[in-house]
Amino acid sequence: MNPLERYEPLVDDVEAFRAACARPLPSVVRVNTIRSTTDRVTRAFDEEGVTYEPVSWHDGLLRLPDRDPGTNWPYFHGWTHGQEEVSALPGLALDPRPGERVWDACAAPGSKTTQIAAAMNDEGTVVANDNNLGRLSALRHNAERLGVTNTIVTNADARNYSMKPLAFDEFDRALVDAPCSCEGTCRKNPDVLDQWTLDHVTQVAGIQKGVLTRAVQATRPGGTVVYSTCTFAPEENEAVLDHVLAAEDCELVPFDLPLETVPGVTEWDGETYDPSVRHAHRVYPHHNDTGGFFCATLRVGGDAEDADRVDNTTSDGGDAETGVDA
């Protein structure tokens, strides 16, 4: 069975959904504001004859309909980075601030990590973790090409991540862009539909629950945790949120995204989820001509008197003590 069939009850237009999933995904680049601006990049593209289309909902994203994102000099100079449109959503939801401490729990190959660093003006501390050492080499390469200097790279299982190597014991914000069954990427990688199994969905959902639980535990009271996947499976999306809401002191909060989305589902396959999962956003390919995606924002509970604090920074915005070499 094509796994997309199991999600047809969740979509408003099955024919449009299936047609969109069958079309190739447009190539997109994100402007790296650490090294350039959208105006400079578009001028360079015009001079080089690179065809581009601005993305209507994000002025830092450009579609390149006729070219690979990495075959022009602005890319090699770190002015741009190839990044799928919907991949930019978790960074927008996280809304990191200069000087904060941010954990990217499943960071490689670094598109979201470097987006977060740019949103922070390359100030503060980003801890970019991944359990796959090979993929971390790509993250380090991307960070160096894009001029990121505020990022520490760690190699650990995020489910039992230890703060001991760091000179602080909590994060202001955390992103869990979780490993998943990836049906939402079928427009750029059709093989994921052939490789899909329900057993894998069940297996990876257990990992997702563990990583998101640890992210909530590692984030200060009043802090923000963003959970995202590129799957349509409620077992990996709303069910994971439901599990963590029951186990940890946190709550799902409403937030806006600048494109068409659908609320999270509260019932699936005989299971009922916490009603607040409707605050999550589902992104379907036929609504915005993108890949599929899921994104939710949690607020960590506890004493939040210092919810807006940003401290222990140097005069130029860098973290005064990291305890780990980048």
Reduce the DSSP state of residue 142 to 3 states and report it: helix
- Supply φ then ψ for residue 3, to 5 degrees: -60, -20
Contacts for 306 with CB less than 8 Å, ≥ 6 apart: 220, 221, 222
The amino acid present at 27, given as its one-letter code, is S
**Tokens in use for 98?**
């200069």
Q: Are 186 and 156 in contact (CB under 8 A)?
A: no
DSSP state of 64: -
Distance (Å, whole) CA 143 – CA 139: 6
Told to judge if 295 belongs to the known catalytic residues of this protein, a careful annotator would answer: no
Which of 21, 186, 230, 295 is an active site residue? 230
How many Å apart are CA 196 and CA 2, to the nearest integer? Answer: 8
Residue 133: burial class (beta carbons within 10 Å; 0-12, 13-18, 19+):
exposed
User: Which residues carry out catalysis?
Assistant: 230
